[in-house]
A and B are shown apart, each in its own frame.
Chain A
Amino acid sequence: MATFNLDITKEHCPMTFVKTKIELAKLQKGDILNVSLSAGEPLENVPRSATEQGFTVLSVAETGTKGIFNVEIQK
């Protein structure tokens, strides 16, 4: 079970989830992807969309930088 990182803080929806999906596609089942994203639309959409499409959101937490969150998604 490996862990990977993805930074989509500069992306706008829906490219946020598109990029997340593309990274998740590269992972093996059980692997974890730590996604850094911005508050607002990305935070509203990415965890929800990931769950809808069958991935497991393990955690959502604000990072040290205000407005930047880390979403832990397991394939």
Chain B
Amino acid sequence: MEFTEEQIVRYSRHILLKDVGVEGQEKISNGKVLIVGAGGLGAPVAFYLAAAGVGTIGIIDGDTVDLSNLQRQIIHFTADMGKTKVLSAKEKIAQLNPDVKVNAYQDLFTSANAFELIKDYDFIIDGTDNFPVKFLINDACVLAGKPFSHGGILRFDGQTFTHTQGNVCYRCLFNSPPPPNAVPTCSQAGVLGAIAGMLGTIQAAEALKYLTGVGELLTNRLLSFNAKTMDFRTVHTRRSPRCPICGEHPTVTTLIDYEQAACDILSHKNNS
């Protein structure tokens, strides 16, 4: 791949790294990452992947920008209120780095479109805020053999791991989603905005590591942090033989659209 003079300067800080170099930048520039959710986590992921020059970034989100988003969804600005999130994100990415091709999907990620969406991407980012879609992303990626980064935040905490084929998946850790109203969702319990940045940038780093082959991915490890104490913990996990999707006797063989929490549906409806 031939880089222009401008690109050489733009990506110079990557090229300087022994572990990346121009070969690594080529891999990034040829890379394709799908970000599910253009919100708290999706925003910093999109920014850092665009800055890095990831060749193709797909973003899927059905929402429009709401005032309450602006505290943490930093790719959306005050003037973007009422705009679809994917359009808002696409515009900022274009301004940050015109090298990046953005595929904006103004849609929900469902069992109907999941496989079709992920098939053309090298790596998938879970930037969602609800369990049903987290399980859907897991299931689609496990069944299709795609690697992905799981991410979740709440209050002052964050949690992430990376799945690659044969390694721990979300269902190994959590069999199935909690009942819709069993736990408070983000919008009820609150989150410190910067936590989204803390977790999202880890996910972006994992995507770049995957594309370049550098370092060790967060596979078979659940990284969690508590920002109040700034304690970071890594729990070693293993693929579970009893996992309903990747275990010895799988019971989940097709994609499922679990029921959303009622308050989540309401808050999403109010946004549009």
Contacts and interface: CB of A to CB of B under 8 A. Distances in A.
> Is chain B in direct contact with chain A in the complex (CB below 8 A)?
yes
Contacts of B3: 22
A15, A17, A18, A22 interface centre (most CB from chain B within 10 Å): A18
Interface in A8-67: 14-15, 17-19, 21-22, 25, 52-54
Interface in B1-38: 3, 8-9, 12, 15-16, 18, 21-23
B23 A18 contact: no
Interface residues of A, number: 11
Given A17-B16, A52-B18, A54-B18, A25 B8 contact: no
A25 B22 contact: yes
A25 B21 contact: yes
Contacts of A14: 12, 16
A71 to B, nearest CB: 17
B18 to A, nearest CB: 4
A18 B18 contact: no
A22 B15 CA distance: 8
A19 B8 contact: yes
Nearest to A52: B18
26 contacts: A14-B12, A14-B16, A15-B8, A15-B9, A15-B12, A17-B16, A18-B8, A18-B9, A18-B12, A18-B15, A18-B16, A19-B8, A21-B15, A21-B16, A21-B21, A21-B22, A22-B3, A22-B8, A22-B15, A22-B22, A25-B21, A25-B22, A25-B23, A52-B18, A53-B18, A54-B18
